[in-house]
Structure 1
Amino acid sequence: MGSGGEGVPGEVDRYLSELVERVRTIYRDRLVSVGAVGSLALGDYRHGRSDIDITVVVDPAVPARSAHELADALAHPGLRCPAAGLELVVYDAGFAASGAPGAGYLLNLNTGPLLPAVVDFGSVGAPGFWYVIDRAIGHRSGRTLSGHPIREALSAPARPDLLAAVSASVREHASGAGHLADNRVLNGCRSVYYCTTGGWISKRAAGQSIAAAETRFRPLIEEALRSFERPRESALELPAGAVDEFMAWARRAVDRASGGPAS
């Protein structure tokens, strides 16, 4: 099995090995690929801060009960997650390879010590932007943990669909609901970076890039970067007015790229 990557603690590698073994046991010959996306894929996993983001691709003919079995097999603390949480999504291979926008999952599982538990087997009505962005990152940078290369199993949505997803993500983070201030700022940086360059990099790398280019926001972004080094429970407080001003700027920058409303 592929490792979580350089700088990933041994307990995370052991967790990934057990996770993959449980996925294999349930899906057997219907398993196409297991891959790490998110911070593990982008080489910026921060222990105590990052989630473990996993994408599983399976044969379209897999029985529906398998997703329920997998959710039970991976639930924390039955399988103790050593990270802030596990965010795992299962797709059928046809949808994963289609590049279609939308959520499209067979299972959306959030579990772990710092994540509200989510177990969802139907994507109808789910906000699609989270999944569109993760699949795009997985297509570009995903780390294969088992089976077929995850970068080949996933197709990136078309750029207009990605721009729409990034715009929705910025609006979600601008609202502030349920998001740490440092993550709001750095997500805004990564969104602007993508719209400017067409490339996906880690939130910290994007923050460094935007801080260098936008001097008026540099103090705020640098404070967000310092906060992002800390565990979630000890994140720094950032000035609310400055965060809101930055997020409004990020929305305008993304809207210019996407052709959406700059309100």
Structure 2
Amino acid sequence: MSRSPAPPREVRPYLDELVHRTRAVCGPRLVSVLAVGSLALGDYRHGRSDIDVTVVVDGSLPRQALPELAAALAHPALECPAAGLELVVYPAGFTARPSGGAGYLMDLNTGPSLPERVSYDPGKAPAFWYVLDRSVAHQSGLRLTGRPAREVIAAPDRAGVLDALRASVREHAEGGGHTADNRILNGCRSVVYCRCGHWLAKRGAARIVAASEAEFRPLITDALRSFERPRGSALALPGPAVRGFLEWVAGRVEAAAGAEGRQYT
């Protein structure tokens, strides 16, 4: 398997400072800081992508350290050069075992294009996003400091990932808070995972699906073109076509989940 790429130069000083501030707050209880998402998969688009970071800490980290960490990393106290920062802090005991839960200690969204949000209650969040992020992290997490991803984050089992993909596709079908191009490309990535059990970058997955599914090729091509633009100037894609594509994606996920279930009956 190929090694994870180095972070793009546009974000390296930011990541260095993020690690420095996280280490200053967490001290010896810091286990790992990992870049995940598009940075880990080699598909970061400056001006469009978020910076996704997973922090793993020893379970003895004092709870009062979490608001201190959120304040240290919040934009503009630490100016985010990307569309936003999505940072999740987990206890090491939780990430060491496969889980279908959210399980975080803190979930921070901050940055110029993200609504400011911090949560310390995993029971209030849809778990599927965290399951998918941990699956990507186990496969491709880029170590910024501490122990490597595969030593600290267990791979969610395939059935659990497929359940999470079901929920993800439903979320994208509703469309709230997501650009149409991102919904299409996420759908492509879901289909490729169902086919091969491996996470690809969104654009790479989209090219694979476009090559094999002529019916959706024009829509995917338009989504790829739109994804090259900043979020605020994303192209308007036809709603019925987007919905039809996501219905097809949902069918592919259901078929994969059904096949997985039949293996154990």
- TM-score range, shorter-chain basis? over 0.9
Partner AA of 1:145 in structure 2: L
**SS across alignment from 1:102:** coil
Partner AA of 2:62 in structure 1: P
| Distance in 2 separating the partners of 1:151 and 1:133 | 15
Q: Which residue of 2 aligns with 1:238?
A: 237
Once the two structures are TM-superposed, the CA of residue 211 in structure 1 deviates from its matched residue by: 0.3
| Distance in 2 separating the partners of 1:197 and 1:150 | 21
Q: Which residue of 2 aligns with 1:36?
A: 35
**SS across alignment from 2:122:** coil
**SS across alignment from 1:177:** coil
Asked whether the equivalents of residues 189 and 199 of structure 2 are also in contact (C-alpha less than 8 Å), the reply is yes
| Distance in 2 separating the partners of 1:213 and 1:38 | 25
Q: Which residue of 1 aligns with 2:80?
A: 81
Once the two structures are TM-superposed, the CA of residue 118 in structure 1 deviates from its matched residue by: 1.0
1:89-168 map, 5 Å? 89-168=88-167
Partner AA of 1:9 in structure 2: R
Q: Which residue of 1 aligns with 2:215?
A: 216
| Distance in 2 separating the partners of 1:14 and 1:150 | 21
Q: Which residue of 1 aligns with 2:262?
A: none
Q: Which residue of 2 aligns with 1:19?
A: 18
| Distance in 2 separating the partners of 1:105 and 1:134 | 12
Listed as ranges, the gaps of 5+ residues in structure 1 are: none
Normalising by structure 2, we get a TM-score of 0.94
Q: Which residue of 1 aligns with 2:9?
A: 9
**SS across alignment from 1:252:** helix
1:76-116 CA-to-partner distances (Å, cap 9, x unmatched) read: 01110000000000000000111111100000000000001
Runs ≥4 in structure 1, deviation > 6 angstroms?
none
| Distance in 2 separating the partners of 1:41 and 1:7 | 8
Instruction: Count matched residues.
Output: 256
**SS across alignment from 1:185:** helix
| Distance in 1 separating the partners of 2:172 and 2:25 | 36
Listed as ranges, the gaps of 5+ residues in structure 2 are: 260-265
Q: Which residue of 1 aligns with 2:204?
A: 205
| Distance in 1 separating the partners of 2:80 and 2:151 | 27
Once the two structures are TM-superposed, the CA of residue 131 in structure 1 deviates from its matched residue by: 0.4
| Distance in 2 separating the partners of 1:137 and 1:228 | 21
| Distance in 1 separating the partners of 2:109 and 2:247 | 29
Once the two structures are TM-superposed, the CA of residue 8 in structure 1 deviates from its matched residue by: 1.2
**SS across alignment from 1:259:** helix
Q: Is 1:180 matched up with 2:179?
A: yes
Partner AA of 1:199 in structure 2: H
**SS across alignment from 1:98:** coil
Once the two structures are TM-superposed, the CA of residue 125 in structure 1 deviates from its matched residue by: 3.1
Partner AA of 1:133 in structure 2: L
Partner AA of 1:53 in structure 2: D
Normalising by structure 1, we get a TM-score of 0.95
Asked whether the equivalents of residues 34 and 142 of structure 2 are also in contact (C-alpha less than 8 Å), the reply is yes
| Distance in 1 separating the partners of 2:40 and 2:180 | 23
**SS across alignment from 1:136:** helix
| Distance in 1 separating the partners of 2:150 and 2:83 | 25
1:38-73 CA-to-partner distances (Å, cap 9, x unmatched) read: 000000100000000000000011100111110010
**SS across alignment from 2:118:** strand
| Distance in 1 separating the partners of 2:29 and 2:208 | 42
Once the two structures are TM-superposed, the CA of residue 151 in structure 1 deviates from its matched residue by: 2.5
Asked whether the equivalents of residues 82 and 111 of structure 2 are also in contact (C-alpha less than 8 Å), the reply is yes
| Distance in 1 separating the partners of 2:23 and 2:150 | 19
Once the two structures are TM-superposed, the CA of residue 188 in structure 1 deviates from its matched residue by: 0.6
Once the two structures are TM-superposed, the CA of residue 219 in structure 1 deviates from its matched residue by: 0.3
Asked whether the equivalents of residues 7 and 39 of structure 2 are also in contact (C-alpha less than 8 Å), the reply is no
Q: Which residue of 1 aligns with 2:193?
A: 194
**SS across alignment from 2:32:** strand
| Distance in 2 separating the partners of 1:139 and 1:39 | 14
Once the two structures are TM-superposed, the CA of residue 7 in structure 1 deviates from its matched residue by: 6.9
Once the two structures are TM-superposed, the CA of residue 124 in structure 1 deviates from its matched residue by: 1.0
